[in-house]
Amino acid sequence: MILSGKTVMISGVGPGMGRKLALLAAAEGAKVAIGSLPSEQAFIDGVAAEVKAAGGECIAVGCDVTDQAQCHAFAAATIDAFGTIDGLVNSAYVHGGWDLFEDADLDVWRRAFEVTFWGALHMTKAVLPEMKRRRAGAVVNISTQGTVRALPRQGDYACAKAALNAATRTCARELGEYGIRFVTTRMGRLLGVPYQVAMAERAKDQGITLDQLLDGVRAGIALGVIPPDEECAKGVVMFLSDYASMITGAGIDINGGEYMSP
């Protein structure tokens, strides 16, 4: 178990990769602290119950990452429960109205930055005192291939994630002396509940079946599959582990080969 003895925090846990990541990290030996909006407390309590039913340890904390005090309270609750913090996964985000830039409400873009970028910085600030005290830690920032591959109607999301990519490198350079690592995972499509619901709606709008739509997507991916969210979660777990002890400041594509960075 590659996370044995470690404590991992995950922000923005939802029904897709966040849930799978919590279950996988626990299966790999980590004690897990999961967070989502306070309004989603019932959902994350359910995820925590799944982790415990599988033999793991987990706490669920309502946390709006745009509120610095709530982020610090999340970190404090994790230390109270498990004694320390070894890893943080920043996965909280919002996506706007899928508008073209000329039609976009820039307040929607601003909200994307508040959650996706500033929220990740708030969470990172909250865990730094413990990681610096221990002179060890790993922060994985979940990003998107949209930061290196221009896609229409995703400007708010992609730009907020691009800022997070830059913050990853800055933090890696400045905090490496404390043994704290920072990595960005640039995700592509994630075949989980949220994606399948969105694609079902798109297929309906286009008058085709969901299978027809997904077959077209698979044709553009080198491995010929839409990456399952649990498989992508494995990459995140690896970067949290000591197997990645010499990897910091890096941006890694996890997308099945749909986009390959030069």
Name the burial class of residue 144, with classes exposed (0-12), middle (13-18) and buried (19+) by CB atoms within 10 angstroms of its CB.
buried
159 and 57 together in one domain: yes
The answer to whether residue 60 scores a pLDDT higher than 90 is: yes
* Domain contains 208: yes
Alpha-carbon distances, residue 84 vs 10, 26, 130, 132, 174 (angstroms): 14, 16, 7, 11, 22
CB 83 within 8 A of CB 134: no
Q: Is residue 260 part of a domain?
A: no
In a domain, 121, yes or no: yes
Instruction: Report pTM.
Output: 0.95
Assign 81 to helix, strand or coil. Answer: helix
Cβ-based neighbour number of residue 220 at 10 Å: 13
Domain count across the chain: 2
Which pLDDT band, with edges at 50, 70 and 90, does 194 fall under? confident
1 in a structural domain: no
Residues 211, 95, single domain; the answer is no
The SS3 call for residue 149 is coil
Determine which one of 93, 157, 178, 259 is catalytic. Answer: 157
Residue 262's pLDDT band (cuts 50, 70, 90)? confident
Residue 2 lies inside a defined structural domain of this protein: no
Residue 173 and residue 142 share a domain: yes
pLDDT, tens digit, 9 for 90 and up, residues 74-112: 999 999 999 999 999 999 999 877 889 999 999 999 999
Residue 221 placed within a domain: yes
Q: 170-184: per-residue pLDDT in tens?
A: 999 999 999 999 999
pLDDT digits (tens, 9 = 90+) for 121-173: 999 999 999 999 999 999 999 999 999 998 888 899 999 999 999 999 999 99
Res. 62: pLDDT tops 80: yes
User: Both 69 and 195 in a single domain?
Assistant: no
What pLDDT sits at residue 254? Answer: 96
Specify whether 136 is located in the same domain as 237.
yes
Within a domain: 146:
yes
Question: What CATH code is carried by the domain that includes residue 19?
Answer: 3.40.50.720
Check whether residue 165 and residue 120 sit in a common domain: yes
Residue 19 within a domain: yes
Q: Are residues 159 and 238 in the same domain?
A: yes
Please indicate, yes or no, whether residues 54 and 144 belong to a single structural domain of this protein: yes
User: Which range marks the domain in which residue 204 is found?
Assistant: 191-226
Q: Name the one residue in this structure whose structure tokens are 């930061």.
A: 147
Query: Among this protein's residues, is 259 annotated catalytic?
Result: no
State whether 157 and 46 are in the same domain. Answer: yes
16 and 131 share one domain: yes
164 and 239 fall within a common domain: yes
Length of the chain: 262
146 and 65 both lie in a single domain: yes
